Amino acid sequence: MRLEQTEPAAVGLDSERLEAARALLKKGLDLGEYTCAVYLIGRKGKVAACGSLGRLGDETSAEATLDSIFDMASVTKPVATATSLMILLERGALHLNQPVTDFFPGERLPHLAGVTVKQLVTHTSGLPAWRDLFSEDGTREGAIERLLHTPLENPPGTKHVYSCLGYITLGLIIEKVSGMSLADFARENIFVPLGMDDSQFNPPAEKYARIAWTANARGRERPIVGEVHDENCHAMGGNAGNAGLFSTAPDLALYAQCLLNGGKFESTRILSPLSVIKMLTNQINQSIGGQSYGFFTPPNDMLPGGDLFSHRCAGHTGFTGTSLLIDPEYEIFVILLTNRVYKKREAPDFLRRRRWFHNIVASAITG
């Protein structure tokens, strides 16, 4: 299943501006910011522009194509974790104001007594942004033990602190409520219904030849193919709420269009329109930030939307060099997938280039 492709002008986009956006990505490739990039821009229900550049890894690797598979890193949070949460909420399996401690009755967790599911999904739980869960013994059980006993840094609900720990906890809650792994629940309730055939956790070896290489993971100083880059997720077997999803641009296009359609694609509905509104609009006090149930929203500086998209845009990035932006105001979504961590762990030049890219794409909207 794929979206129909059309000429940019047919959906109100300037083709010359879109070519300039591609040229900007080519320059980043030439400067060595990544070895490959894939982009896909959809508007009014159709693909208006898409393309691929570079090779999946070193000079011996295959050329990137539109169907190349990328480690989505934190784009996992909205696409798999938050969406799964909203599906369970719609089924009456839990509600957002439930205390986190409800889901771990066998644990003594007094520090989490005031934390709710809503605070986890909106990054207002008070948990720190990150903690090394993997170095001590590298096991899933050990990682979960350290996670659940991590003290809060702030009182719940008082600050927006983007927390991978919060979403790993959320993934565990989804597993407890559904009786399935997060990977299996997302596959059965999101990926298969939408025809996202290349979206999964822990992709099988037969897909490795299509996967963009990563590198520079802590403790794994080597090229990584088909294995999640995120260290905490890796310790949890590649299946966690903060990272672990592998996907392609065409698959993400189906997901993005589903949200723009109010939770359905063609005859398949995975979410209600009301859930989609909650996922695409700010759900916290603007005095502390912009965060929906899954996505960054204005005024969050982590939103990768550049300077021109509307106040209704929502989006997310992944540490590996991935991003998804959705703007219902202009009926547009923008997908940019790179493997920028293959070159180096930190990449301020790439972060600037991504914002420039979104500015050029936004400037292509003619009406």
Lookup: tokens for 314: 């929502």
Tell me if residue 107 falls in helix, strand or coil: coil
Tokens at 85, concatenated: 């949460």
- Which of the four CATH numbers 1.10.150.20, 3.90.1720.10, 3.40.470.10, 3.40.710.10 does domain 69-337 have? 3.40.710.10
Can you read off the two tokens belonging to residue 31?
């400067």
Tokens of 157: 């609900």
* 3-class SS letters over 322-337: EEEEEEHHHCEEEEEE
pLDDT for 19-70, tens place per residue?
999 999 999 999 999 999 999 999 999 999 999 999 999 999 999 999 999 9
| Contact between residue 194 and residue 1 where contact means Cβ atoms under 8 Å apart | yes
For residues 24 and 299, give the distance between their C-alpha atoms in angstroms, rounded to a whole number: 26
Contact 55, 64 (CB under 8 A): yes
Handedness of CA 235, 238, 243, 246 (dihedral sign): positive
Residues 331-361: tens digit of each pLDDT = 999 999 999 999 888 888 999 999 999 999 9
This prediction's pTM:
0.97
166, 171, 177, 181: CA torsion to nearest 10: -170
Please report the pLDDT score of residue 2 as a whole number: 83
Q: How far apart are CA 133 and CA 233, in angstroms?
A: 9
What pLDDT sits at residue 137?
85
In this structure, which amino acid lies at residue 257? Q
Identify residue 107 by its one-letter amino acid code: E
Distance CA 256, CA 244 (A): 19
Edge to edge, the sheet with strand 245-247 lists 70-71, 245-247, 200-201
pLDDT (tens place) for every residue of the chain, 367 residues total? 589 999 999 999 999 999 999 999 999 999 999 999 999 999 999 999 999 999 999 999 999 999 999 999 999 999 999 999 999 999 999 999 999 999 999 889 999 999 999 999 999 999 999 999 998 887 899 999 999 999 999 999 999 999 999 999 999 999 999 999 999 999 999 999 999 999 999 999 999 999 999 999 998 989 999 999 999 999 999 999 999 999 999 999 999 999 999 999 999 999 999 999 999 999 999 999 999 999 999 999 999 989 999 999 999 999 999 999 999 999 999 999 999 999 888 888 999 999 999 999 999 999 8
